Every structure is written in C-alpha cells, then in structure tokens.
Amino acid sequence: MDFIDYYKTLGIDKKATPDEVKKAYRKLARKYHPDLNPEDESAKKRFQEINEAHEVLSDPEKRKKYDLHGKEWAHADAAGAQRGNQRSRAGQSAYGQGFSGAGQGGGFDEYDFSDFFSSMFGGDGPAGNRGGSRRGFRGQDINAAFSLQLREAYTTHKQVFTVNGKNIRITIPAGVEDGQTIKLSGHGGGGVNGGPAGDLYITFKIQPDPDFKRIGHDLHATFDLPLYTAVLGGDILVSTMDGKVKLKVKPETQNGTKVKLKGKGFPIYKKENFGDLYITYDVKIPTGLSEEEKKLFSELSKLNPHGNS
C-alpha cells in the first residue's frame, strides 16, 4: 500500500491542533459527502479518504503511531509481537481491529476505504455494521445575486424571489448598497442526515438611475437652467427621490453652480438619517432666436462689451 499523507488529505499542518483537525474534516466532509454528490464517484472516493485521515488523526494514539512509523503505523504493534514470537490470533485482531482487509494475505495492501469506514457511516462494506449511527452534516451555503433599481433601494419594501425552486419573501431595508450582501440563516441547502440547513447569501446589484447618481449616501443630479432664469434669478422646481421641491435661483447664477439640498439624498442603511442631494445647474443657451431676440442680445452686448471680464 502506498503511503498516504493524512495531513495533506485534510489540508492541515502536522502541528495542527485537535480542533483544527476537526474543523478541516467537517469542512471537507460536507463538500464531498456522497449524499450531496450522488453521481460523482470521485467525490465518494475523496470522502472516504477524508474520513480515513480523520479517523487516524483525531485519535491521539493512532496519530502518535502514524507520526512515528509513517506507512507502517498500523503494523507497529504487530511487528513488535512478531519479534517476540508472541503473535497469536488475539494479537492479530489487536492491531487489525476496524480494518476489514486484515487477515487476508497477511497485510493491508488491499483494504478498501469504504470497508474501513462502514462501521462509522452505516455502509454495506465487509465490516458489516449496517444501520449504524450516521453523522449529520450542515447543508451547503447558497450565494445568489439580486438586481434592484436605485429607486427601489430608496425605500424599505418586500420582494419575492426564487432560489432552488423555493419562493422566498424578504424585506429589503432602505439604503441597501450596491454589492452589499445579507445572510438569511437556514435558507441554504438542506442538511444531510438530520443536519441543519445551510445559509443563503444575497448580494444586491443596484442598477444605475437615469436622473440620479448615488455616491455614498449622497445623490447628484443635473438641472437644465434657462438662461433668463440664470441671469435674472427666479424660482424653479427640481425633482428629488420623494417628490419636487422649490428652489430660489440667485440672479447671475453661473453655469456649473452646485447647490445642496440637505437631507434629500439617499437613506442610510438601517438608520433614520439621509444623505444630501447636490444639484448642478446646466445653463442652457436658447436656440431658434427670433430677429427681435437677436436684436435685444445685440443691444445687451453693446451695453457690456467686455462681458463679465
């Protein structure tokens, strides 16, 4: 039988603590459990290898022998007995217990993983312990992406979506961010052998809005400001996420001027506060001027030939 590096099988260091051995085993056993991979023979074999490694490394005495004797660890007691001419039928069973391949051909070269662990997992192998206790495993976690419009993320609301054929209704708090992930405990894959269900992780993808740009908790928007209003000043109505508000424009407002509407931005996740809304004025030059309008602009230019310089 070729040497099997049990530490490598579990992906741990030789100095791993018992807790680290257990943690690594449970993680891999969940991943490769036959009930979760019914059509994958390679996963079944991997599962058996993982369990064999755990059986040895989780037992202090077996681990000590394995570390000391390596490949021949299982024969260590028997070798000592042979040297003292004390090998007996009882002695053979002492070092062979739990290994279904022992006693046939004088060694362990032909034992099968499934035989070795049938007593642990209630299998049908030659160990013959059918119906034994089976270890429960936690179900797999599920990751799902969910798309939201920016205006949907502005308010707390309920959404229904389907995962693994099941409809799940959740309440989405206002202010959820793009790329934010929330966990729904117990809504992942079903447990194995009575184990608990896994968790569902939902990552939100917030779609861009044609009118507002979100930066952190603030919103940014552009408002087309008529030239006459920019020059003379006046009142305008601008849109926010929750309706329109009136703003007073100062006379001689320059193109690109930015004003802040405090508390009119995006809600802060699971808080009652809001960010701010920033409005940038885009002064629009009139087109299609009549001859009279052109004349008036010409007269204005004569009154102020140097403009604002």
Phi, then psi, of 224 in degrees rounded to 5: -75, 110
Q: In percent, how much of the chain has pLDDT > 90?
A: 44
Residue 186 identity (one-letter amino acid): G
| Tokens linked to 281 | 């004025």
Contact present, 150 and 209 (Cβ < 8 Å): yes
Query: What pLDDT, on the 0 to 100 scale, is given for residue 97?
Result: 36
Band of residue 132 on the pLDDT scale cut at 50, 70, 90: very low
pLDDT digits (tens, 9 = 90+) for 277-292: 999 999 999 889 899 9
β-bridge mates for residue 166, sequence order? 163
* 8 A C-beta contact, residue 266 and residue 275: yes
**Overall pTM surpassing 0.75 (yes/no):** no
- Kindly give the residue spans of alpha helices, DSSP state H, lying in the chain: 6-10, 18-32, 41-57, 60-69, 76-83, 89-96, 113-121, 150-153, 227-232, 291-303
Predicted local confidence at residue 120, as pLDDT: 38
Condensed to tens digits (0 to 9), the pLDDT of residues 60-113 reads 988 998 888 876 776 666 555 555 544 444 343 333 333 333 333 333 333 333
Specify whether the CB–CB gap between 166 and 173 falls below 8 A: no
pLDDT tens per residue across span 157-173: 999 888 777 888 999 99
- Chain centroid to Cα 110, Å, comes to 42
Quick check: helix, strand or coil at residue 71?
helix
Predicted confidence at residue 309, as pLDDT, reads 52
HSE-CB at 84 with a 13 A cutoff on CA atoms is 9
Confidence at residue 289, expressed as pLDDT on a 0 to 100 scale: 87
Q: Which residue has the tokens 């681990």?
A: 63
Token code pair at residue 63: 């681990």
Amino acid (one-letter) located at 208: P
- The DSSP annotation for 164-204 comes to TTEEEEEEE-TTPPTT-EEEETT-SSPPBTTPPP--EEEEE
The residue among 241, 308, 228, 309 whose CA lies nearest residue 279 is 241
Q: Which residues of 117-133 are buried (b: 16+ CB within 10 A; e: fewer)?
A: bbbbbebebebeeeeee
pLDDT in tens, 13-57: 999 999 999 999 988 988 888 777 878 888 888 988 998 889 899
- Tell me the pLDDT of the chain averaged across its residues: 80
For residue 70, give the DSSP letter: G
List Cα–Cα distances, 150 to 103, 175, 205, 263, 270, in angstroms: 71, 9, 9, 17, 16
Give the pLDDT band (50/70/90) at residue 121.
Answer: very low
- % of the chain with per-residue pLDDT over 70: 77
Q: Which tokens belong to 89? A: 């039928």
